[in-house]
Structure formats: structure tokens, C-alpha cells
A = this chain, B = another copy of it.
């Protein structure tokens, strides 16, 4: 059947002159150039998203530690308004890219947007952890990528989600090491180490299927070990004197502050 009709069509689709061939290729040229230009725009935006997300992460570290210093006892109601504002600015970049990544274009240029997307996910998941003490879900990230009308600014691949949230463990390690020598730090360290241990276990099942994930899992293991060792150091010191963190902290504070 196909071959019968094929004979007819084939004649229509024959390019029979030199000029016609050149013409066909000129169309290819503009198609290829168009897509290359598009990719270039996406790459640039992806770099912008990366840089801004990295800055959000630094900001979150500052706010989180300030929160602990202000009040290590109260239930961590630090205000992350400034970070949220910066995240909203990043979403403007996504918004501007929206039409470049519509329909099948997303998967066409996925590798160009991927680095920025992963860094963005790292930032939102860090904020989410600081606020909720939990891992942000796939839908959570997806929802963060919606505009006021609930329209998705950019599709989200499972791989980017997993690779992005994997990077969170490194930041949590940095956070825990800093937090640990503060008031209430021992509790924080234990929370983080339980959380990171959970992340590692949760992601182990995915790593054979997601490229690069096993490399990130190795980094997570290292981070986890660093947190565990820090928690150990605190525990060992405390064990010599007793178990009441807060009371001990008060004594130390009096010594230091006079």
C-alpha cells in the first residue's frame, strides 16, 4: 500500500533542478540557524539562573545562621523574605524563556537549560528544608515554577529534579558544620544527619537509572560522614560533663561573655 501511493508522492517530492536543491538547502540553513540561536539564548539564560541561584544559596546560609544566633530555642521562624524575592526574580528569567521551551522544544534543548534548572532546584529545596525541615517534592518544585495563573513556566524532568535535590546534601553539610558549634547545634546536627542519611537511602534506588546520580550520591556520602563526625565531636565533649546541652551552653556563654 505504502509503496503504491509512494510512487505518486515521490514524483511530487522530487527536486529536479540545481536551483531547487539550493533553495531546499537554504531553508535547512534558516531552520538550523534558528534552532542554534535559540539554544544559545537558552544557554545564556541558564547561566544567569545558575549564578542567581548560587547567590540565593549563600543568602539562605546567612539567614539560617542568623536565625540560629538570634534564637536557638525558638522554633526557627526565620524570615526568608529576601531569599524568596530573589527566587521570584529567577522565575522572571524562566518566564522570559517560556516560549523558547514550549512543546517539543523543551526536550530539544533540555541539556542547555539543565545546569540552571538543577541549581535553581538546589536553591528552592534548601529554602524548603530550612522552612519545613523536609525534602521538597517533585510537585513542590513544579508548583514553584508556575506563574500567577498556574501556568507552568518550564517543564521539569525527573532527572533534573533528582540531580538538583541531590546537591542539597552538600549545602546541608556546610550548614550543619556551621550550626553545630552554636547553641542548639547538637540537635540541628542530628536532624540534618538523619535527613541526609534518609536522602542517601531514598536516592540509592534511583542511581542506576539516572546518569550522574551515583557520582552525586558519592558526594552525599562524604557530606554525611562529615556531619556524622561533627556530631560525634560534640557528643564526645558533652559526654564528659553530662547531657543537658542548654545548661552547658549557658555556662560556656557566661565564661565567654563574662
- A residues whose Cβ falls under 8 Å from a Cβ of B: 33, 36, 40, 43-44, 47-48, 51, 55
Q: Which residues of B contact A44 (CB under 8 A)?
A: 44, 47
When chains A and B are docked, how far (Å) is the Cα of A33 from the Cα of B51? 10
How many copies make up the complex? 2
Beyond A33-B55, A40-B47, A40-B48, 5 additional pairs, beta carbon < 8 A: A36-B51, A40-B51, A43-B47, A44-B44, A44-B47
When chains A and B are docked, how far (Å) is the Cα of A43 from the Cα of B125? 29
Q: Which residues of chain B are near A40, meaning CB under 8 Å? A: 47-48, 51
A43→B46 CA distance, assembly (Å): 13
User: In the complex, what distance in Å separates the CA atom of A43 from the CA atom of B43?
Assistant: 12
CA distance A40 to B48 in the complex (A): 9
Query: Which residues in B have their C-beta under 8 angstroms from that of A51?
Result: 36, 40
* Complex Cα–Cα for A48 and B40 (A): 9
Select from chain B the residue with minimum beta-carbon distance to A43.
Answer: B47
Within the complex, the shortest CB–CB distance from A50 to chain B, in Å, comes to 10
In angstroms, Cα B40 to Cα A117, docked, is: 18
List residues of chain B with CB within 8 A of the CB of A47.
40, 43-44
A33 to B48, CA, bound (A): 13
Tell me which residues across on chain B come within 8 A of A43, comparing CB atoms: 47
Q: Which residue of B lies closest to A47 (CB)?
A: B40
A131 to B36, CA, bound (A): 30
